[in-house]
Structure 1
Amino acid sequence: MTSPTNAQAVSEAQAYRAQLLYFRDTPKAEDEACEWVRDGLLVVRDGHITHCGGYDQLIGQLPTGTAVHDWRGHLITPGFIDTHIHYPQTDMIASPAPGLLPWLETYTFPTERRFEDPAYAQDVAQFFLDELMRCGTTTAMVYCTVHPGSAQAFFEESHARNLRMIAGKVMMDRNCPDYLRDTAESGARDSEMLLRRWHGTGRQLYALTPRFAPTSTPEQLGRCRELAQAYPDVFIQSHVAENRDEVKWVMDLFPGHRSYLDIYDRYGLLRPRAVYGHCVWLDDDDRRRLRDSGAVAAHCPTSNQFLGSGLFDHAAAQDFGTPVTLATDVGGGSSFSMLQTMNEAHKVARLSGHHLTARRMFWQATQGAAKHLGLTGQIGTLEAGAEADFIVLNPTATPLLARRTARTESLEELLFAFAMLGDDRAVAATYAAGREVHRRA
């Protein structure tokens, strides 16, 4: 099996033979809404997918000399999309604490202080992106720190690798250590400087990032609203209703609001391309408001369990049509792997009496996330014209996975085995814009 050089990946057609899987629409019990090609060929050129279909139908159409990479026995899917993750928390993952707020004070804030140093920020960004690629995540919505240099370092590293990433500088002007505090004015000024520099530069996209309501004054949320109005195509990301103690604190800080989510709504921060992490302690009115505004709930099952925050109600979200994506939330989350995240999401759903299918989880982590982020047709699919971000999954990556997948009798069983038994070891290779960015030894 040959491996293309960077130059080849950009300018010459490459073909990949394997099982192929991508989704056309939201999978339902009566309609898988997916394309599953058991012997397929994926053709890539200039960083985009040009053809996706059966091997027998396409092999005769390839230009003379096209390299065909043989991944038979493997499954190619779109790269995973993680919609809520903190790159500065990489070095503090798996830190013990009795709950969210003490965890922030004891570990998160002191760790984020280190991002005053641009060299440290660059080193963490490099490791963080390596880890995402190793786990098959080709796009993520990333929180940086309050330091503009942390976002600059992240974007520089992502741009150098030609990755499709969304990130933003945290805005935080109260209820945090002085060494991590900006102001309403400086937070807005730095955010605007960064978004003008990076939003739409190469494959980089910007997200306005008020950390969460308790750490932003009404003045800062107001300045964030002004930026959101001035730049309607940028993303917005924050946290909402993660933890009961947090919810009580927020309602004390913002009296007169119907709910935690209502605060963001009042400041014009619920709209398409707005993604809110956790959404555990929402009521039905909140779920309707997310749906009607086009904002998204990022479900973070490993983090919610690790910090004891609560169980996301997947059944209620589905009943109300609330857009839901999956996210690792590292470093509150305990794994970079979206397969491990699916594992925990399924268990959380079962505890509320809801069966979350493997097809649904794979959709949420690929085409569903792209749809809810307003990036349909660009990422999250293997359809012709899309950016060539895809991964190769190995059903024999571990002895147990190999034994189970040898006995699968349907696509659902195969995907479920990956979700329950898979992790980074199941990702044989990761491709971004048609270039191999990870291959497992």
Structure 2
Amino acid sequence: MIFGETIVALSSGRLPAGVAVIRISGPDTRFVLETICGTAPPARKAVHRALYSPSKKEVLDRGLVIYFPAPNSFTGEEVAEFQIHGGRAVVEAVMKSLTAIPNVRHAEAGEFTRRAFMNGKLDLVQTEALADLINAETESQRRLAQRNADGAQSRLYTDWRRRLIHARAVIEAEIDFADESDVPGSVADTVWADIADLVDEVDRHIGGFAAAEIIQDGFEVVILGAPNAGKSSLFNALARRDAAIVTNEPGTTRDLLDVTLDIDGVKVVITDTAGLREDAGMVETIGMEKARERSRNADLVLILEDMLNPQTVEVDWLETSCLRVGTKLDLIAAKDLGDVNYDFRISSLTEEGIPDLLEAIGHRAEHSLSLAGDTLPSRLRHVELLEDTLRHLRIGQNDAVAPLEIRAEELRLAADALGRITGAIDVEDLLDVIFSQFCIGK
């Protein structure tokens, strides 16, 4: 697809910087190079050039210039990159000169990637994966995004769709050419056996979304306990800063406080909560209800208890995995520990026991990820379309008394749902939403 305008943007990070990368894409890219650099450099070779103003009266900067002729470029159009000094004034002067050239304008957010999609260089899943790769903060996020950007997820969905198209072809051949000797006489043994396998594969794949959510949103750990059980002290120790107020007054924490940790490449979100007790005031009661709600949805709950003054918190309502943690170990002599069965005993002051607790949290987070395969649905949009796919597959598979034409139609609807994930079918209404997530210059 040929776009009428040539776009330009700063594609590197915040200024000032040692090097700034300016990217241009569009039909007038070569003309821009000839205007700014005198001549276009050889294809895909970095060449050191002076960059001139369009009037040729002033050298703006000197740097590396790379030219990518269409269609062998990121966007599928003619593309060029200027690697120049990263001073604000330098970049502003070059950008001003570029956009002064007729038919050249500033790019909108995600416009380079959108052109790559429209020109068939990427599908929607790879496009979303690029956004995830840019935003990745942990190693597990990077690995998931890189696999999907390389096309692992797209290849899986494309293969499933190919199998469905083949199944429909066999069914429709039997319907239309039942009298022909070279058409299979029974689709039950060939098509529906594969559809049954496909139902299992899609169902298992959907189940992996929980792991993808943990990778992207974090393994959620909630600290729960009575007032003054040491929740905020542990929270601050894990955060390595005074993120929560710590006092001897009960009920100091009334709202939810979050801190994000990177434990062995996995994002872990720790939440401090209001202490649970009877006869609390109105505001504290609201905080306690928030604590219970967050705990119900957490991946792990740490139930803290002050070993100097144990106050048991009733958690029969909690179905989440829990660890019992005794606090204030530094104030208790070894002989006074008693027979209480804690999973961990810690001191937030001396940090004794905290490394072991962090290791246990890390192991739990890693285990939750190991339950899923390498290829995971990375968006709720994918899951919703996969569930739609599964629904149509099950209707076609189970409705054995329905005419073959109806069952074949269910397979077509399932294939269409898969096609909408990668952008092969009817996705125009999604494009603005997806590409708005990108930064300028990508």
TM-score with structure 1 length normalisation? 0.24
What TM-score results when the alignment is normalised by the length of structure 2?
A: 0.24
Bigger fraction of residues in strand: 1
Identify the structure with bigger relative contact order (alpha carbons < 8 Å, sequence gap 6+): 1
